Amino acid sequence: MSIPPGERAAGERYPGRGVHLDDGGGRAAGVAATRNALHRRVGRHADLDTCAGCDLDEQAEEVLGERLDVVTPRCTGIEASEAFGHLVRGQREQPSSHGPSLLWKSPAPDVVDPDVMLSLLDRSRTRSGTPDSVGLTGSIERAVRAEALGYHRFWVAEHHAVPGIANGSPAVLLAAIGAHTARIRLGSGGIMLPNHQPFVVAEQLLMLEALYPGRIDAGMGRSLGFTPPVRAALRQDDMAGERFGDDLEELRSYLDATAGVTVRPATSHRVPLYVLATGKGLEIAARLGLPAVVGGPLLAGDGPVEALDRYRRDFRPSERAQHPSVIVSLDVMVADDDATARELMLPEAWAMARSRQTGEFGPLEPVSSILGHSWTSQLRSRVEQTLASALHGSPATVRKGLERLVERTGAAEVLASTSTYDREALYASDAALRDLL
């Protein structure tokens, strides 16, 4: 039996549409960043007279949905779908209809294992001084850019009554993102199953699958609301998390059309299931034969991850997966140098540290504002702890970190969950990270 790319066999060591948005972050800079990505992914024209009117600035605007629904290069002889395919797949080979001299091939950077896939997890982070709605439209715009860069998936998260996160309804946001993209896989990272009836979740997922066939993923988590009032508002009881395994099996039966009730709409593609896993979640993923998404403290340290070894050892092949498969998720920030990347990580680290003091995970603040605050020794320590759990630095630093992470986890995919106050810097980091993996 063949093994999908990126997976390890058992027994081995590691057995659209455009969107026009204005978030105040500087569209001109965004167009420039997208133009640079087009330079890397498609290649510059060596002879502009040969393709008069083909302007990468205009193409960049089209990627962002300024005027056209899809990327439509103006070069005579290149079909839009062909050129877009080259862009999304990151291929630098020129279309044969143009002859041998039109496009130059940019040198490939040092990259991590090419079999490892790269995806983004976006949490719709809010920012001080801007409305929550910008957190949502920012997620849509980032997804459009991620597709142009050739990312494999774009996932969104579920958080309720959190000031720093705008999205409490992954299915609704994914529907909006699907309407503005054409190829990238879309999913939840994740839907918190204890908050919902499995039948309703199945209906939402199959509705998305019917609208965007073959593009929908379902990452399922077991986290409860952050505070007692939130848990009460969600009608959760103390045992909600303990039913996760049973709820997941029920959800799978609806998606596989094996339950006593048939969920509508019926679809032709099976929606893949993933388990957002810690210790107990990994046990459930292994028992049900499902891929696992891991992050946080479980990835700490430098050696092999014993919990992942147990997951692979205990994995029971299923109709959905014949072999164990691991996605690792962490914050990754790439900048020109290590010091700049560390600074860009500071807004997220500050929000996390402050939440442990105040009980409230707040909007991202600009670095200048954070540095103007009074820092206690405890607060500084907590910021440093968050920074230490992330991967940040120059391209060379991040590449080495990713290589070590992939080697010791045997991951088939990296799911980067980066956030920072400066959207332009965030988009630049996404583009730089894509060059590494």
Q: Render pLDDT for 117-160 as a digit per residue (tens, 0 to 9).
A: 999 999 999 999 999 999 999 999 999 999 999 999 999 999 88
pTM of the model: 0.77
Mean pLDDT within 197-205: 97
CATH 3.20.20.30-classified regions of the chain: 117-334+383-436
pLDDT at 304: 75
Mean pLDDT within 346-366: 93
Pair 63, 30: CB distance under 8 Å: no
**Averaged pLDDT score across all residues of the chain:** 79
pLDDT digits (tens, 9 = 90+) for 22-65: 333 444 444 444 444 444 444 433 333 333 344 444 444 444 44
pLDDT at 379: 93
pLDDT band at 67 (very low <50, low <70, confident <90, very high): very low
- Report how far residue 95's alpha carbon sits from residue 86's, in angstroms, rounded to the nearest whole number: 9
Mean pLDDT within 184-203: 94
Mean pLDDT within 323-330: 96
How far, CA to CA in Å, does 305 sit from each of 234, 297, 327? 34, 11, 13
Of 87-101, 155-169, 307-321, 340-354, the one with minimum mean pLDDT is 87-101
CATH classification code of 117-334+383-436: 3.20.20.30
Phi-psi group of 119: left, alpha or beta (phi > 0 → left; psi -120 to 50 → alpha; rest → beta) = beta
pLDDT digits (tens, 9 = 90+) for 385-396: 999 999 999 999
Strands 216-221 and 117-122, by their bridges, are unpaired
Q: Which residue has the higher pLDDT, 370 or 300?
A: 370
Q: Which two tokens stand for residue 17?
A: 């549409």
pLDDT at 269: 92
Pair 255, 271: CB distance under 8 Å: yes
pLDDT digits (tens, 9 = 90+) for 266-319: 999 999 999 998 778 999 999 999 999 999 888 887 777 899 999 999 999 999
Mean pLDDT within 78-94: 35
Pair 136, 125: CB distance under 8 Å: no
